[in-house]
């Protein structure tokens, strides 16, 4: 059995330490108030037994709480007081310096929580450690100085989650839609160097990767680019290549035909497209930003975004090559083709590609083949998005999310034109709905009372995010604010104007709707009463964001939080506060956003249809998924799911599996098993390999693919997923 120390390091549970600590407290009281050695031994045994039954790694604080309870059970009240006083004094000592132990544990690579905090960061790498170390300092300053104490306390107790506190001390925002079109067409500046409009597709791709890296180092969330913004450079390359081909052929034969010139031109153009797309894929995978990971970038593929038919055809060429290369994958250090995490791909389903006989059906079939093998692309339905995203003029719009799921709200600029690229999200605060449900103890009046209190708490936390960005100078991140990624402000100009009026968003996140509803009425979201209450809660959340927006002219938006490590934290906090409640806190994770619980048997089509109703009430971002088996030999079924997505839900994905064991060459599913301590570990079913450094595991966790490993809560959630197809 393991316990997690305050530094985050995971160590083996040692009951002797309990005996020593209680003995010290026991010896400090008068003899008549002391316990016997047998009583002290029994306390240690009872704590060990209780801890083992919880079936997860407990924190030192949780163990000490259990020790207190056992001392009280022995009616040794004076000893208990001394033990509590000792804990309090030690807490005061720790409060005077809250970062040293954390930083040292990071450097020595024995911080278990940090190891599993981000499934796409390797904490043994110096650059990642440097980012985590800076993050510890930022979190310390944030908790002690920058945030109100009640918000910090609520965050620590798992009532809310104040996201990305490790970046809050700096004037940084969350995620954005990069205005790649502006930067390529009008030029930009990177590291003080002027970059003019490129004269070929391959150069445009190279510049795009440099922009991606620079943007990733200036904010902490996801970013998205559109392949449409690269499409005009295909024809620029075509014309340049044609001139070269004409000159070459005329040197050989003056009677060369236009058809011959066209054929050779297109062949060379396709070679350039192949090289340009390869450059984007390999640059994104191999680049390392200042936060120690590959850029979290999403690539958007939307045919109807093209400005004319020629551009649309050229865009189709880029999309086709992008899908082909992702299907192939990238080679790992052993030379084996594997699934990369980034860039994340989004493919828009539209009238021109959704059914056999449509002009671009061949692209959709290729996308299905790629999804079956590599888990991407994900899918946006143009049809449903045009219904859901309507601006103040009554027009619907289709556009990409920022990263994995954070969507901007519809916006019309001062000239009455819709605008999405160049906009951003200020940050996220998530409410733990399960805690509200359990706190109400099945009393609906009390539930709504606590709900109101938590909303006000979240509101003040979101205001803190907004206020932290207020006054930020464009000089803080020139690539973003001065050179076109988001805006083209002057030096010394603030970004304040763009924090208001709907240009950017603030996200009220929510988690655990499934468990919240069950805790209140013992019904699932898949049951009529549960669904009705779930929708009622979602509508109430939207009422709050609308109220705040109207009062402050700031675009608050409801967001289905992609919990990764926080799902475990919330679960631990709930178990500590409420114990084990069947079907609510009996897992080491809680359910993301509005999702149907991972263990619930439900058909893929029924799941998507049900979740579509909830997704429509999550305008700040959400994604649904279906868990499927190996579909490489059943592409018709994949296409059927994609067509259902087009007709029923705005944004969804299919979760497959893509693993490889470097020890024996197994390329099937690597499984999750329990070791002798009850810890969940990844195990090759073919050779028994459990060394995570000698296997490649790719799983979708939060709308994006993770390729490192996850904490015990998320690992349990992955293990318990049922198939929907």
Confidence check: pLDDT of 257 > 70: yes
Which residues, including other chains, have CB under 8 Å from residue 327's CB and lie 6 or more apart? 366, 369, 370, 373, 374
CB 628 within 8 A of CB 604: yes
**Over residues 377-388, mean pLDDT:** 98
CB 351 within 8 A of CB 358: yes
**Over residues 371-381, mean pLDDT:** 95
Q: Helix axis angle, 528-552 relative to 604-615, nearest 10°? A: 30
Confidence check: pLDDT of 527 > 80: yes
Q: How far apart are CA 237 and CA 275, in angstroms?
A: 13
Q: How far apart are CA 9 and CA 26, in angstroms?
A: 29
H or E stretch covering 223:
strand 223-226
pLDDT band at 11 (very low <50, low <70, confident <90, very high): confident
- Segment 281-294, tens digit of pLDDT: 998 888 766 555 67
**Over residues 390-397, mean pLDDT:** 96
Which residues, including other chains, have CB under 8 Å from residue 582's CB and lie 6 or more apart? none
**Over residues 663-667, mean pLDDT:** 90
Phi, psi of 83 (to 5 degrees): -65, -45
- Position 497 scores a pLDDT of 97
Q: How far apart are CA 565 and CA 466, in angstroms?
A: 24
3-state helix, strand, coil in the chain (%, to 5): 50, 15, 35
Number of H helices, E strands in the chain: 24, 23
Which span out of 237-251, 286-300, 356-370 was modeled with the highest average pLDDT? Answer: 356-370
The beta strand positions in 48-116, using DSSP E, are 58-59
**Over residues 677-691, mean pLDDT:** 91
> Furthest-apart CA pair in the chain: how many Å?
115
Query: 3-state class of 674 per DSSP?
Result: strand
Which span out of 334-338, 622-626, 713-717 was modeled with the highest average pLDDT? Answer: 622-626
CB 367 within 8 A of CB 347: yes
- Segment 352-362, tens digit of pLDDT: 999 999 999 99
Q: How far apart are CA 659 and CA 663, in angstroms?
A: 12
**Over residues 260-289, mean pLDDT:** 91
Confidence check: pLDDT of 363 > 50: yes
Enumerate the β-bridge partners of residue 177: 224
Phi, psi of 569 (to 5 degrees): -60, -50
CB 654 within 8 A of CB 628: yes
Kindly state the tokens that stand for 267: 């062949």
Using H for helix, E for strand and C for coil, what is the string for 182-194?
A: HHHHHCEEECCEE
Confidence check: pLDDT of 685 > 90: yes
Confidence check: pLDDT of 97 > 70: no
H or E stretch covering 297:
strand 297-301
Kindly state the tokens that stand for 38: 């047998």
Which residues, including other chains, have CB under 8 Å from residue 125's CB and lie 6 or more apart? 292
What is the domain class of 425-641 according to CATH? alpha beta
How many other β-carbons are positioned within 10 Å of the β-carbon of residue 271? 12
Q: Output 604 or 51, whichever has higher pLDDT.
A: 604
Q: What is the DSSP string of 351-378?
A: TTTSSTTSTTHHHHHHHHHHHHHH---E
Which residues, including other chains, have CB under 8 Å from residue 145's CB and lie 6 or more apart? none
Q: How far apart are CA 523 and CA 420, in angstroms?
A: 39
Using H for helix, E for strand and C for coil, what is the string for 152-177?
A: HHHHHCCCEEECCHHHCCCCCCCCEE
- Segment 453-506, tens digit of pLDDT: 999 999 999 999 999 999 999 999 999 999 999 999 999 999 999 999 999 999
User: Which residue numbers are catalytic?
Assistant: 174-175, 402, 404, 406, 425, 559, 564, 703
Q: How far apart are CA 532 and CA 512, in angstroms?
A: 16
- Position 141 scores a pLDDT of 85
CB 581 within 8 A of CB 594: no
Cα-Cα-Cα-Cα dihedral sign, residues 30, 36, 41, 42: negative
Q: How far apart are CA 62 and CA 54, in angstroms?
A: 11
CB 184 within 8 A of CB 229: yes
CB 607 within 8 A of CB 624: yes
- Position 310 scores a pLDDT of 97
Phi, psi of 43 (to 5 degrees): -60, -50
Enumerate the β-bridge partners of residue 390: 396
- Position 119 scores a pLDDT of 47
Which span out of 59-68, 106-115, 514-523, 569-578 was modeled with the highest average pLDDT? Answer: 514-523
**pTM to 2 decimal places:** 0.86
377 preceded by a cis bond (ω within 30 of 0): yes
**Residue 500 burial (CB < 10 Å; 0-12/13-18/19+)?**
middle
Which residues, including other chains, have CB under 8 Å from residue 70's CB and lie 6 or more apart? 42, 43, 46, 47
CATH number for region 176-388: 3.20.70.20
Distance of CA 266 to the CA centre of its chain: 40
Q: Output 110 or 242, whichever has higher pLDDT.
A: 242
- Position 144 scores a pLDDT of 86
Phi, psi of 55 (to 5 degrees): 65, 40
- Position 95 scores a pLDDT of 56
- Position 492 scores a pLDDT of 96
pLDDT above 70: percentage of residues in the chain: 92
Which residues, including other chains, have CB under 8 Å from residue 640's CB and lie 6 or more apart? none
- Position 161 scores a pLDDT of 97
**Sequence ranges of the chain with CATH classification 3.20.70.20:** 176-388, 425-641
pLDDT band at 336 (very low <50, low <70, confident <90, very high): confident
435, 524, 535, 574, 594 from 530: Cα distances, Å: 17, 5, 9, 21, 12
The count of residues in the chain is: 725
Of the ranges 92-106, 313-327, 662-676, which one carries the lowest mean pLDDT score?
A: 92-106
Enumerate the β-bridge partners of residue 344: 298
Q: Output 223 or 292, whichever has higher pLDDT.
A: 223
Confidence check: pLDDT of 115 > 80: no
Mean pLDDT over the full length of the chain: 91
- Position 150 scores a pLDDT of 95
**Residue 441 burial (CB < 10 Å; 0-12/13-18/19+)?**
exposed
Q: How far apart are CA 651 and CA 400, in angstroms?
A: 10
**Over residues 370-385, mean pLDDT:** 96
Q: Output 650 or 93, whichever has higher pLDDT.
A: 650
**Over residues 157-186, mean pLDDT:** 96
Confidence check: pLDDT of 209 > 90: yes
Q: What is the DSSP letter of 586?
A: S
**Over residues 110-120, mean pLDDT:** 50
């Amino acid at each position: 059995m393991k316990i997690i120390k305050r530094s985050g390091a995971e160590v083996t549970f040692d009951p002797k330490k309990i005996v020593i600590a209680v003995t010290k407290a026991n010896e400090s009281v008068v003899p008549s108030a002391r316990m016997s050695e047998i009583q002290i031994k029994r306390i240690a045994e009872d704590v060990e037994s209780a801890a083992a039954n919880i079936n997860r790694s407990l924190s030192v604080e949780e163990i000490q709480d259990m020790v207190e309870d056992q001392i009280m059970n022995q009616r040794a009240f004076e000893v208990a007081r001394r033990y509590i006083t000792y804990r309090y004094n030690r807490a005061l000592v720790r409060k005077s310096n809250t970062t040293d132990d954390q930083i040292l544990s990071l450097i020595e690579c024995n911080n278990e929580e940090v190891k599993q905090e981000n499934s796409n960061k390797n904490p043994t790498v110096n650059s990642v450690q440097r980012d985590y170390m800076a993050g510890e300092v930022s979190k310390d300053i944030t908790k002690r100085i920058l945030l109100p104490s009640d918000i910090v306390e609520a965050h620590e107790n798992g009532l809310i989650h104040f996201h990305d506190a490790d970046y809050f001390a700096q004037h940084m925002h969350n995620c954005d839609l990069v205005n790649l079109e502006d930067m390529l067409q009008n030029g930009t500046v990177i590291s003080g160097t002027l970059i003019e409009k490129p004269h070929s597709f391959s150069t445009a791709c190279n510049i795009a990767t440099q922009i991606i890296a620079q943007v990733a180092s200036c904010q902490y969330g996801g970013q998205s680019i559109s392949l449409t913004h690269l499409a005009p450079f295909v024809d620029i390359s075509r014309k340049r290549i044609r001139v070269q081909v004409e000159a070459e052929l005329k040197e050989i034969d003056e009677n060369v035909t236009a058809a011959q010139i066209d054929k050779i031109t297109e062949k060379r153009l396709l070679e350039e497209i192949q090289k340009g797309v390869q450059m984007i894929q390999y640059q994104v995978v191999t680049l390392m930003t200042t936060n120690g990971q590959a850029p979290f970038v999403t690539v958007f593929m939307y045919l109807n975004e093209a400005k004319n038919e020629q551009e649309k055809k050229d865009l189709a060429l880029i999309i086709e090559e992008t899908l082909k290369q992702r299907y192939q994958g990238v080679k790992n250090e052993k030379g084996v083709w594997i699934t990369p995490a980034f860039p994340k791909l989004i493919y828009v389903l539209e009238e021109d590609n959704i059914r056999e006989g449509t002009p671009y059906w061949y692209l959709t079939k290729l996308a299905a083949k790629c999804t079956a093998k590599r888990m991407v692309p994900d899918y946006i339905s143009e049809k449903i998005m045009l219904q859901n995203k309507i601006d103040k003029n009554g027009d619907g719009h289709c556009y990409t999310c920022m990263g994995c799921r954070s969507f901007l709200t519809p916006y019309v600029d001062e000239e009455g034109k819709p605008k999405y690229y160049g906009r951003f999200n200020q940050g996220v605060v998530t409410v733990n709905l399960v805690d509200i449900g359990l706190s109400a103890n099945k009393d609906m009046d009390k539930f709504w009372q606590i709900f109101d209190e938590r909303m006000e708490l979240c509101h003040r936390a979101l205001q803190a995010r907004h206020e932290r960005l207020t006054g930020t100078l464009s000089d803080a991140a020139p690539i973003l604010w001065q050179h076109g990624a988001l805006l083209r402000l002057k030096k010394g100009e603030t970004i304040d104007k763009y924090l208001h009026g709907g240009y950017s968003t603030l996200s009220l996140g929510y988690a655990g709707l499934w468990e919240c509803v069950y805790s209140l009425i013992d019904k699932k979201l898949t049951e009529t009463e549960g669904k009705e209450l779930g929708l009622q809660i979602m509508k109430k959340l939207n009422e709050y964001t609308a109220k705040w927006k109207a009062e402050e002219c700031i675009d608050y938006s409801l967001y289905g939080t992609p919990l990764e490590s926080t799902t475990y934290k919330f679960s631990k906090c709930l178990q500590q506060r409420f114990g084990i409640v069947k079907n609510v806190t009996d897992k080491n994770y809680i359910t993301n956003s509005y999702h149907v619980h991972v263990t619930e048997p439900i058909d893929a089509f029924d799941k998507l249809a049900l979740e579509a109703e909830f997704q429509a009430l999550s305008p700040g971002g959400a994604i649904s998924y279906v868990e499927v088996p190996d579909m490489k030999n059943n592409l018709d079924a994949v296409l059927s799911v994609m067509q259902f997505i087009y007709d029923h839900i705005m944004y969804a994905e299919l979760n497959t599996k893509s693993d490889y064991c470097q020890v024996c060459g197994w390329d099937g599913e690597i499984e999750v098993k329990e070791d002798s301590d009850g810890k969940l570990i990844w195990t090759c079913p073919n050779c028994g390999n459990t060394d995570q450094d000698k296997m490649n595991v790719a799983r979708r966790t939060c709308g994006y693919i993770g390729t490192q490993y996850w904490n015990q809560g998320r690992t349990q959630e992955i293990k318990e997923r049922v198939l929907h197809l």
